[in-house]
Structure 1
Amino acid sequence: MTTWIIGHLMAACIGLSLGLIGGGGSVLALPILVYVMGIPPKPAIAMTLVIVGAVSLLGVIPHWRAGNVRLKIALLFGGATMIGAFAGAKIATLPFVSGAFQMILFAVMILLAAGLMIRRSSKRPRQIELKSYPNPVCKYCWFLLLTEGIGVGVLTGLVGIGGGFAIVPTLVLLGRVPMKQAIGSSLLIIALNSVAGFLGYLGQVPLNWELTGSFILAASAGTIPGAYLAQFIPAQRLQQTFGYFLLAVAAFIFVQNRHSFEVVHSFKNTASQMIQYHTKY
């Protein structure tokens, strides 16, 4: 019972993160499900897709009302990410793709996201606008948009990351979408992503629907104070703090999966010994 309460209090932080910075839901949901609630990685990733997709869809509503959702480009980019997410989920269900590999890949991706967030938060708002997201100059931006969409989708299907940290700059750079509209549109794309990724896992892994539903409720409740607090805390400070938090989460996941590195090292030593043996004899 204590674990259940702690897990759901932490689930509320998923919504708090979405309310404060418009992202970060999946990087919290997956570790909570795996390391607090004891769900194996593959089912946890599928459940994460449902949780983050549902909460992101709720988050689209205020952005839609404010006119900050570009439906046409969201559907174009979202269609590409859905193809990638479904393919990524199917790859993830193959026998040779282990849960440990998925968690390590997940940790690598959030390390990348943390680096980007910390780097951007160290710049002034004007610098971020002019240098981090320059005006795109490319003849085939639409093709790059679709290509990157498929790539983001594959990662979503493999490790359950919604991809907001990659979707927003892609929409700004290649889709020529203003920042506010890119953030609003990204939530719709994440929701579409999550649906496709989940369909790829459906029937392949066992799912705890009761826990998934209660996590959605807890995360949804967390978005309310998150949106309220976002008015009083500077966005740069939020991004920087969350970036360092992601570094800690990534380090924790690497430590928890250190045996995978030991297995790889042991395999290399065995292979080396076999090569030496055959060379000698």
Structure 2
Amino acid sequence: MWCIVRGNVYKMEIAGFIGAFLMGLSLGLVGSGGSILTVPILVYLFYIDTLIATTYSLFIVGITSLVGATVRAGAGNIHWPATLVFGIPSLTAVYLTRSFLLPLIPPVIFQLGDFILTKSLFLLLLFAVLMLIASFFMVRDQEETTEENTTLGSTSYNLFSLSIKGILAGCITGLLGAGGGFLIIPALVLMANLPMKKAVGTSLVIITANSFMGFWRDYQLHELIDWRFLVYFSTIAITGILTGSSIAHKISGERLKPIFGYFILLMGAFIIFKELFLR
């Protein structure tokens, strides 16, 4: 019996590391969608508590996005003015959310009969809802700007809207440990008039900064971190993003994005169903 249980654990771990590679691959190919899988992988395949999983996710997403951003920077696919306009409000939102909003959520939010909505369950359900929203952004058709030389924020309205979207993306990263590329990339394309390649590269820089800010703010949880596991997981994710970046010019990210979107939709629906009806 022990051998069977241990064998199942190994199978789950293998599936988890495969998921780490796919997460990085998604980031490398389409610039979004991958990081939103990190927390579910950590929770369901490695049995890590949701709150700790968000801290792990911030490091994993941050280091993976840093590698991807470095590759994109070498190809000149980062728009630094857009990075500042979007990134500064976003970075501030991450810090404030992780410092003040997250600690305000009580360990037990409410109880109704046998159902107890704990902080961990609330974050997991919120994450599942975020996955459903992300799948919508990834599945729907998006217009791709083809101009190579564009200017940031032709109107003050676009600049203001871009900053607001930055704050929203920062709150998502701070609360749930997700990169928010599904939100950042459309904002950069539609509001900053960036071509898709530059939007993806710029998004990776913003995600890197946001993730590391959130992870640094969780310094009180660092003593609970299994650093060996975190290095293993991150290394596999980095391998995925390098693979995705190397073949991105051969495979259309826009064609792959709906496939990732439908997969995330199924994952989000599964989490909601499992946590509400199979507990």
TM-score bracket for the superposition, by shorter chain length? 0.7 to 0.9
Query: In 1, are the aligned partners of 2:90 and 2:171 still within 8 Å (CA)?
Result: yes
In 2, the alpha carbon distance for the partners of 1:225 and 1:73 equals 26
> How many pairs align?
252
Larger radius of gyration: 1
Matches within 5 A, 1:128-207: 128-129=144-145, 138-204=155-221, 206-207=224-225
Amino acid at match of 1:233: I
Secondary structure of the residue aligned to 1:171 is helix
Amino acid at match of 1:194: S
Q: What TM-score, normalized to structure 1? A: 0.81
Does residue 223 in structure 1 map to residue 223 in structure 2? no
Query: In 2, are the aligned partners of 1:120 and 1:128 still within 8 Å (CA)?
Result: no
Q: Residues 137 and 64 of structure 1: is their aligned pair in 2 closer, same or farther, counting only changes over 3 Å?
A: closer
1:35-64 Cα deviation digits (max 9, x unpaired): 000100000001101001101010011211
Which residue of 2 is the match for residue 209 of structure 1? Answer: 227
Query: In 1, are the aligned partners of 2:33 and 2:261 still within 8 Å (CA)?
Result: no
In 2, the alpha carbon distance for the partners of 1:194 and 1:177 equals 23
Identity of aligned residues (%): 37
Q: Structure 2 unaligned segments of length 5 or more: list them.
A: 1-8, 108-118, 147-151
Query: In 1, are the aligned partners of 2:144 and 2:195 still within 8 Å (CA)?
Result: no
Q: CA deviation at 1:162?
A: 0.6
The alignment's C-alpha RMSD in Å is: 2.4
Query: In 1, are the aligned partners of 2:179 and 2:207 still within 8 Å (CA)?
Result: yes
In 2, the alpha carbon distance for the partners of 1:237 and 1:173 equals 19
Q: What TM-score, normalized to structure 2? A: 0.82
Among candidates 84, 87, 96, match of residue 106 of structure 2: 96
In 1, the alpha carbon distance for the partners of 2:153 and 2:66 equals 29
Amino acid at match of 2:82: I
Q: Residues 120 and 16 of structure 1: is their aligned pair in 2 closer, same or farther, counting only changes over 3 Å?
A: same
Which residue of 1 is the match for residue 276 of structure 2? Answer: 258
In 2, the alpha carbon distance for the partners of 1:173 and 1:62 equals 24
Amino acid at match of 2:190: L
Q: CA deviation at 1:15?
A: 1.4
Q: Residues 21 and 209 of structure 1: is their aligned pair in 2 closer, same or farther, counting only changes over 3 Å?
A: same
Which residue of 2 is the match for residue 64 of structure 1? Answer: 73
In 1, the alpha carbon distance for the partners of 2:200 and 2:159 equals 19
Which residue of 1 is the match for residue 38 of structure 2? Answer: 29
Secondary structure of the residue aligned to 2:104 is coil
Query: In 2, are the aligned partners of 1:93 and 1:201 still within 8 Å (CA)?
Result: no
In 2, the alpha carbon distance for the partners of 1:56 and 1:80 equals 19
Which residue of 1 is the match for residue 3 of structure 2? Answer: none
In 2, the alpha carbon distance for the partners of 1:186 and 1:224 equals 16
1:79-114 Cα deviation digits (max 9, x unpaired): 111111122223223342611111111111111111
Amino acid at match of 2:177: G
Q: CA deviation at 1:188?
A: 0.2
